[in-house]
Structure 1
Amino acid sequence: MCQNYRDKNLQGWSFKDKDLTGADFSGSDIRGANFTNANLTNASFIGAKAGVQKHWVIGLLIVASLLSGISGVAAVSNAYNTVRFIIPNVTKPIPIIAALTFCFLSLVLNGVLWRIILRQGIQKTLGIIAATVGIAVPIIGILAAFGTKARPWFIGFRVSNISQAAASLGTNSEPAQIIVLGALIIAATIAIVVSLTFAVVLAVIAVADWLRYLVVAEAMAIATIATGIVTRNSARYFSLTIPKEALAAQSLVIAIAVILAGAFIFLSDRVANRTLAEDEKYNVLLKIAIAIATIGGTSFRKSDLTNANFSHATLKNTDLRKANVKRSFWYKSIKLNWANVEGTILEASKVRDLLVTGDGCKKSYAGANLRGANLDSANLADANFKTADLTEATLRYACLDWANLSQTQAVGADFTKASMTGVCLEAWNIDSTTLLDEVESKFYYLRENPKSGTDDRERRPHDGEFAPGEFTKLLQEISNTVDLILHSPIDWKALFISLQQLQVKNEETELYIQGIENKGDGVFVVKVNVPSDVKKSEVYGELTQLYKVLKGKEKQILLMQEQTEYRNRIMNFIVTRGVLSSHNKILPDNLVVINFENGNFEQGFRAIAAHIWSDEHPLPTKFTAKLLPNLEIAELYQKFHLKYENLRLCYESQGWIPRIKKLPSQVSQVSLRDIPELKKELQDLANQLKIQINLWLNSKEFSLIQQQLRSKLDCSHRIRVIIQAEDIQMRRIPWHLWDFFQDYPHAEVALCAAIGDRVKKSVPPRTQIRILAILGDSKGINVNADRKALEDLSDAETVFLVKPTFQEVEAAFLDEKGWDIFCFSGHSSSDWNGNKGWIQINENERLTIQDLEEVLKVAIERGLQLAIFNSCDGLGLARKLANLQIPQMIVMREAVPDLAAQDFLKNFLKLFADGNSLYVAVRKAREMLQREEIENRFPCVSWLPTICQNQAEVPQTWQELHSRIQPKFENLLAQLKAAIKNEIYLTSENKIKAIGQINILAATGQNPEKEEKQKQIKSAFNILMQISNEEPAATQMAEALNKLLIPYIISGGNYV
């Protein structure tokens, strides 16, 4: 949704947490504006002016002036302390030898300290000082222990004497004087360097370079004038000791002190210059100074700046900490070096300069972090990107001729229409998401350095030049290989076993050696083919580590081979027993994962990947396609949302309050007379949405995935379709309107996050399925209906918290027994961009997922499988909870009427507890809303229930939740009985007959010793398998029967 703020004065405005996707701030004055946590994807800030407002500039100048003064005063202290021992002290005279010694030591200490600061930098200087203090303190303590009347000199190291020396400015015993003098000089020197550097940097950032000279001049004036005055006041005592030479002595001492003070300021100015030049030795000073300068400035902290355009924008005093700057365009931006860019790729000055100038010709970026960098049209000819990270970077139209891309990470990078003649691609890492469309390349090299004794860098093609399109085709063919670099001699047995072990660890990922290249000098490159959806860097790391461990270790290899052979014998034994016979083999639910990660409705989707698990192979088939931009779908849904919200407000005035807490700012501008028209408009928008979604998904660009889905999937099978998309508009649209779901009645859709991981679980023993139900703020809604639906689950233990406090909720989630299901009923909502949501637990408290993050992690580790938010607008809740890797969630995508929420929960729980899978239960419960009066009053209410799936977890059925509770044998019998009762392809007579055999098995037990009971078991199994064979379509029964057979066979019985 485009928002125009072009050429406006927006000083001090707050856009915090706002969705400003595509907003135009070009030419605007955004000084002091707050964009913290805002979504600024595709926003334009061309020529905008960021920074601090004028009153903050004045404040920074005052701070700089004060710091300059502090540095001058510190210089006075250091210079005076260096010379004061050679000035006569009438009250406590110091021997001339001691005085000269102290002066000499002061000069040496200053010289050493400044040498370290200028050579090593401030960070190392502080480290050296800390180490010196750490060593000196125990030494002083030891020396003090030797102090006696016989050894009075050591008494000076005691703490009391050092304290007296400090209090009297070093006029006590000699050891104490030396210690105090050294501490004063070190403290003053650090104060001079730090304060003047901060003052100079703040002055330059706040105003301009010329102001630094005034700051330094202020410090120099204070240092020299004040030093002269202070030294003159003390040097008057020369007239008492050497009257004739008093004037000359005074002049000499004053001159030395003033010169020292001026030198200290001069040297500090050098440090400030090097700090401004971004010398890494003084990096900590620059970071702190910039952090101070950005206080009150324009803030983009933690905002999403994906694809934002900052070209020609002024960005000094700007806070960009931890912002998402993926593909942000910084060309010709002004004073970006004076912005706080902590936590972004802009921290490295070399990277920042490249993004600003677009000129990296003949420069080195070896090992640089350029992840997500926008280098479109950049001049990168002859640049060195060896080992650099260009993951998800965009280099469209860039000139990369003769560039070095060896060992570069370029997964997800976009090289469309780039020029890449003569480029070196040795061991670079790309995959199917790397875009190489229309790349111009006449030839490239596979080696960075020639083979020994030759000039051969393995040119491709060997002779001539690539025809248009040949480079792209060749690179796409080899994008799914990992290059394993090995040194002769190669242990082929260890390599083979490493591949086998990696396949087992990664769930049978298909890996095989595609080819071996001899690079000379005993170096071989083994090319290992990997599936396109596998992360190649992880495969490379794991394979290299396994090979290193196994190389030359024959005993370990033999042991692994024996274990593999033993595992294969067990599987063959089970197969030969008939447990997994071809006729009765039942696979898990068919699974489809469609990845829409890179794109949106405005830009389209250039690389969509569909993974289909539909046959007996553990690995999916994969197909790719793309979709053209279609803003009409997003706009239609936006209109639908607004109409739906208006209808909600109409019904709210009648008492049909949905499960969302109305904010004070919400004002209804609709009346009851609008209801019929609104319902009609909603229905019309729903029809248009359905048409547009199907036109889009049936387009020729998406046809390959569409065709493969229909050819590989059986409409009688249960199918889980998971949509992987982070774009909130893609998550909001009603995917079940896709005509694929009409043709496949047992399929249901779910949403998933980009990252899916399994939490290591430790499920405590418990006697029943445990459900934690929170009945939150119930103003205007009937949560007691939800309570009754949960109470009707006879085989579950449900604990209810009614309008609990935050502490009560925390304590409940930490219950040591753990929970299987969590259900919230009450009011909730999410922000429009779906980044966060909250639940109203009582009249006064609302919680976010972040508030409960730690206790939810504990609950998930203890077996929490499913979270149900039977409340409004839950996509924000789902997104945050998905980060905790919960297996499944059910949320409502919009505000839900109270009666619809009640009916859905009641129907879903009944269907789920009766043996339906989670997906089938949600689909049936959703469709049951269409047959109720509710959908007549609230059109499209059946759209609302939505599954959010952790793609690394397999959904559990109600019976499988029991499997963690009941003994395995009893659980398998219960599953088989439930499957037979729910099986629609069995006759009533066969159902009765089969259940009778189950009762026989329950009575005999799993391992009977008597021969008579063993015969009963064998007879029961034969009858059950005969019934299953007579009805091939009865897949639920066959699946449960095969599971039951396994424990019998493993126990040694020959019952089949």
Structure 2
Amino acid sequence: MKASEVLKRYAAGRRDFSGENLRGQSFKGKNLSGADFSEADIRGANFTKAKLTGANFSGAKAGLQKRWVAALVISSWILAGLSGIFTGFAGGFVAYIFDSSSTANVIAGWVSLITLAVFFFIILRKGLIAGAGTAAGAVGGVGAFAGTGAITVALAVAVAGAGAVVGAFAGALAVAVVGAVTVALAVTVTVVIAVVGAVTVALAVAVAGAGGEAVAGTFAFTIAVAATLFSAYIGWRAIRGDERDAWIRGVAIAFAATGGTNFRRADLTDANFTSATLKSTDLRQTTLTRTCFHQTQKLDRVRPGMTYIKDTQVRQLLITRQGQAQNFDRKNLRGVNLQGANLADASFIGADLSEANLQDTDLSRAKLVQTQLDYTDLTGATLTGACIEDWGITPETQLNGIKCDYVFMRLEDKLDPNPHRKPDDWNKNFEDGEFADFIAPMVQTLDLYHNQVDDPRLIAIAFQQLTETHPDAELDIVSIEKRGKHRDKVLIRAETSPQANRSELHHDYFTTYNDLQALSPAALQQLLAEKDGQVKRLTGLVEAAIKRPGIYAQTYYSQGDTMSESKGNISITSGDGSKISGLAGAGESITGSAIGEISGTVSVAINELPESPEPDKPGIKELLAQLQAAIEAESNLDEDDKAEALEQVKLLADAGKNPQEKGNQKMAKRATTMLKGIIVGLPTAATLFEAWNKLQPLITKLFGL
């Protein structure tokens, strides 16, 4: 079917083009969203810049048309011939061993043989580039002997290297285009030409040396055949995915994709390639969000560009959906489709799984530490026993139907052996749907986790730049926390507007942060000189968080493109209850106190509120008094958490003086968010837990939240 006919019928409402012959047709820049091309022949079709969201290519056959296959096969034979010429001459040079008329030539022949052996050994172990460099060094090392000998060795290595590269590429190209039969033919061509060249040179050497023709010819023949087969092996190894020969593989596949199916810069979001054949297909700069590659054939023969398909391990996972106990730490898995995959016991520490389809996946006991899951669909996934320390879920993360009996909030290690199981009672599990309710308070913030902080100023600059670049995100730091015992780790939590793309914010922040780390000291000083006092104040807060556990900053929020302080005071408490000084700017105060002092301060703030006009209906004053009493009486809270919870009650009391004022509503929202984070870790039977569930809806309603 012609492309014009497909587009005409698509415009008329038809979406089913399954089984059609679309070879060589061009759909460049066209919108074919939702079209069904299952079992279609799309070899040589051009879908460059096409919009193919939700399109079905299951069972489709992509790749080269026959005329392109023939052209590339002939090209591989030509390259094989060139490899044979180079290899033949290399074998001939080694035959100088039998040139008895010249001692220098005999030495050169032996040195050439030894150098070639080293050269091919390095190729075998570390790849062609490393081999070439080592061989060049060897040539320089043996070049002390005179004229002819050194030149002979250099030529032998040079032509051998050229033969290996060209031969390996010819083999790789043959495999990428057709397969083993073509490789066999290419090797045969190479051997024939190599033998002719080697014997010719060897005979010339032998004649010059007045004898030894048969021995020299046989020796040259052996070297030529061995080198040729070796080149073929390197080509086969490259196409099989050996990282040592990745560049040969990349160039061969690029050639093999010439004239093949082209999806370059197309939008394949939610497209389906189940059981499709994608050999010789161009996927560079293609949008592959949630694209299904389950049981796809020849996915290793595509031209992947910088997409996640370039990673061999990820590619295999996409095809088989079997990743149990595998390590995917810090891999870019953004947008992958792993629906129904077995990922039990797998490790995703620091990995990016944003926008991924993880519906019905088995993530039992998986390590999801610092894993980014913005806009990720976890519907129906199993998370029992998973470690979710500092994972990056957001309100856009789909958690419907999660199957989870319990989780761990910390990754167990020697420094912190307590994995912080939730529920805390090891004999109790989450009820159906309870896990989603448990985790809900944690999805309200952008979490910026730093494994190590060498210079707090970089955090301050990066965050300020983020607020300037994304003013609509309404970034608002709600806490700065030290994480882990005896470790220099910091977690910054920032509230954002509901419409903000937290995944993009997270990416932009750390891109800036990493760029800042690469600056020279002089460049950093110049940048700091250009920044205002906000950077200095935020730097101080980060430094304080590093030095003391449990630091919470409550007053920074974004207005427009600058960070400014709220109308209230900055209130920061340390884990030991001591005062933190030296951080306040003009008009700010920083206080720290023990439980008794905090309790008294909270009581004064609550008493300043007006009483409820309706005796039988408690107002903000009565509700906060009940909350204060519940916090102070809760035996499951340690002193640090009680102090922090009371600080939040005081903020609610301050905001309650004018609960409908926008700034006070924002302060109240932050305070309730912080209280949720403290209380959610309590046993569900705890008095405070029950009191909070009753009081929180009434308090937020009074603030119009």
TM-score by length of 2: 0.66
Please state if 1:471 is matched with 2:435.
Answer: yes
Partner residue, 1:32: 44
Partner residue, 2:303: 340
CA distance in 2 between partners of 1:435 and 1:483 (Å) = 18
| Aligned match for 2:190, one of 219, 223, 240 | 219
Partner residue, 1:49: 61
SS in 1 for 2:359: coil
Q: Which amino acid aligns with 2:164?
A: V
Q: Which amino acid aligns with 1:10?
A: L
Cα distance change of structure 1 residues 618 and 50 upon mapping to structure 2, 3 Å threshold = farther
Which has the bigger relative contact order, CA under 8 A and spacing at least 6? 2
Aligned length: 526
CA distance in 1 between partners of 2:162 and 2:33 (Å) = 46
Q: What does 1:343-354 correspond to in 2, within 5 Å?
A: 343-354=306-317
**Which is further off, 252-261 or 466-475?**
252-261
**Which is further off, 506-515 or 355-364?**
506-515
SS in 2 for 1:343: coil
Question: How far 1:448 moved relative to its partner?
Answer: 2.2
Kept after mapping to 2: 8 A contact 1:483/1:525:
no
Partner residue, 2:162: 191
CA distance in 1 between partners of 2:201 and 2:429 (Å) = 80
SS in 2 for 1:282: helix
CA distance in 2 between partners of 1:132 and 1:512 (Å) = 60
Cα distance change of structure 1 residues 620 and 478 upon mapping to structure 2, 3 Å threshold = same
1:271-323 Cα offsets, whole Å, 9 max, x none, are 12321221111111100000000111111111111111111111101111111
Cα distance change of structure 1 residues 618 and 35 upon mapping to structure 2, 3 Å threshold = farther
Please state if 1:117 is matched with 2:123.
Answer: yes
Partner residue, 2:349: 386
Partner residue, 1:377: 340
CA distance in 2 between partners of 1:81 and 1:490 (Å) = 58
CA distance in 1 between partners of 2:261 and 2:513 (Å) = 47
Kept after mapping to 1: 8 A contact 2:462/2:512:
no
1:985-1029 Cα offsets, whole Å, 9 max, x none, are xxxxxxxxxxxxxxxxxxxxxxxxxxxxxxxxxxxxxxxxxxxxx
Partner residue, 1:20: 32
SS in 2 for 1:25: coil
Q: What does 1:458-857 correspond to in 2, within 5 Å?
A: 458-463=420-425, 464-481=428-445, 509=474, 511=476, 513=478, 519-521=484-486, 528-531=493-496, 533=500, 535-536=505-506, 550=540, 561-562=584-585, 617=663
Partner residue, 1:8: 20
CA distance in 2 between partners of 1:337 and 1:357 (Å) = 13
Please state if 1:206 is matched with 2:166.
Answer: no
Partner residue, 1:411: 374
Please state if 1:438 is matched with 2:401.
Answer: yes
Question: How far 1:502 moved relative to its partner?
Answer: 8.8
SS in 2 for 1:478: helix
Cα distance change of structure 1 residues 563 and 218 upon mapping to structure 2, 3 Å threshold = farther
SS in 2 for 1:424: coil
Question: How far 1:34 moved relative to its partner?
Answer: 0.7
Partner residue, 1:75: 87
Cα distance change of structure 1 residues 279 and 256 upon mapping to structure 2, 3 Å threshold = same
Please state if 1:398 is matched with 2:370.
Answer: no
Cα distance change of structure 1 residues 13 and 529 upon mapping to structure 2, 3 Å threshold = closer
CA distance in 2 between partners of 1:475 and 1:420 (Å) = 12
Partner residue, 1:287: 250
CA distance in 2 between partners of 1:516 and 1:434 (Å) = 24
Partner residue, 1:596: none
| Aligned match for 1:267, one of 230, 234, 242 | 230
Unpaired stretches in structure 1, ≥5 consecutive residues: 141-152, 154-173, 241-245, 567-613, 624-707, 713-1056
Cα distance change of structure 1 residues 549 and 187 upon mapping to structure 2, 3 Å threshold = farther
Cα distance change of structure 1 residues 352 and 496 upon mapping to structure 2, 3 Å threshold = closer
CA distance in 1 between partners of 2:64 and 2:463 (Å) = 60
CA distance in 1 between partners of 2:260 and 2:282 (Å) = 7
Q: Which amino acid aligns with 1:468?
A: D
Kept after mapping to 2: 8 A contact 1:2/1:21:
no
Please state if 1:307 is matched with 2:276.
Answer: no
Cα distance change of structure 1 residues 354 and 115 upon mapping to structure 2, 3 Å threshold = same
Unpaired stretches in structure 2, ≥5 consecutive residues: 1-12, 517-534, 546-579, 590-659, 670-700
Kept after mapping to 2: 8 A contact 1:393/1:412:
yes
Cα distance change of structure 1 residues 7 and 618 upon mapping to structure 2, 3 Å threshold = farther
Question: How far 1:394 moved relative to its partner?
Answer: 0.9
Kept after mapping to 2: 8 A contact 1:509/1:619:
no
Q: Which amino acid aligns with 2:421?
A: R
Structure exhibiting the larger radius of gyration computed from Cα positions = 1
1:63-91 Cα offsets, whole Å, 9 max, x none, are 11111111111111111112236425xxx
Kept after mapping to 1: 8 A contact 2:97/2:110:
no
Kept after mapping to 2: 8 A contact 1:397/1:416:
yes
Kept after mapping to 1: 8 A contact 2:270/2:291:
yes
Question: How far 1:511 moved relative to its partner?
Answer: 3.9
The answer to which structure has the higher strand fraction is 1
Kept after mapping to 1: 8 A contact 2:96/2:108:
no
Q: Which amino acid aligns with 1:222?
A: I
Q: Which amino acid aligns with 1:528?
A: R
CA distance in 2 between partners of 1:335 and 1:59 (Å) = 20
TM-score by length of 1: 0.45
Partner residue, 1:368: 331
Partner residue, 2:113: 107
Cα distance change of structure 1 residues 618 and 132 upon mapping to structure 2, 3 Å threshold = farther
CA distance in 2 between partners of 1:75 and 1:275 (Å) = 19
Question: How far 1:562 moved relative to its partner?
Answer: 4.5
CA distance in 1 between partners of 2:452 and 2:47 (Å) = 57
CA distance in 2 between partners of 1:263 and 1:277 (Å) = 21
**Which is further off, 205-214 or 494-503?**
494-503
| Aligned match for 1:61, one of 48, 63, 73 | 73
CA distance in 2 between partners of 1:43 and 1:106 (Å) = 58
Kept after mapping to 2: 8 A contact 1:489/1:522:
no
Cα distance change of structure 1 residues 449 and 46 upon mapping to structure 2, 3 Å threshold = same
CA distance in 1 between partners of 2:284 and 2:392 (Å) = 29
CA distance in 2 between partners of 1:316 and 1:50 (Å) = 6
Question: How far 1:186 moved relative to its partner?
Answer: 3.0
Question: How far 1:326 moved relative to its partner?
Answer: 1.0
Kept after mapping to 2: 8 A contact 1:319/1:339:
yes
SS in 2 for 1:197: helix
Q: Which amino acid aligns with 1:16?
A: K
1:638-681 Cα offsets, whole Å, 9 max, x none, are xxxxxxxxxxxxxxxxxxxxxxxxxxxxxxxxxxxxxxxxxxxx
CA distance in 2 between partners of 1:461 and 1:384 (Å) = 22
Kept after mapping to 1: 8 A contact 2:43/2:261:
yes
Cα distance change of structure 1 residues 221 and 370 upon mapping to structure 2, 3 Å threshold = same
CA distance in 1 between partners of 2:321 and 2:382 (Å) = 15
Q: Which amino acid aligns with 1:258?
A: F
Kept after mapping to 1: 8 A contact 2:168/2:233:
no
Cα distance change of structure 1 residues 57 and 371 upon mapping to structure 2, 3 Å threshold = same
Kept after mapping to 1: 8 A contact 2:460/2:539:
no
| Aligned match for 2:152, one of 181, 188, 209 | 181
The sequence identity of aligned pairs, in percent, is 31
Backbone CA RMSD of aligned residues: 4.2
Cα distance change of structure 1 residues 175 and 8 upon mapping to structure 2, 3 Å threshold = same
1:406-441 Cα offsets, whole Å, 9 max, x none, are 121111111111111111112211211111111111
Question: How far 1:558 moved relative to its partner?
Answer: 8.9
CA distance in 2 between partners of 1:295 and 1:541 (Å) = 35
Cα distance change of structure 1 residues 199 and 619 upon mapping to structure 2, 3 Å threshold = farther
SS in 1 for 2:281: coil
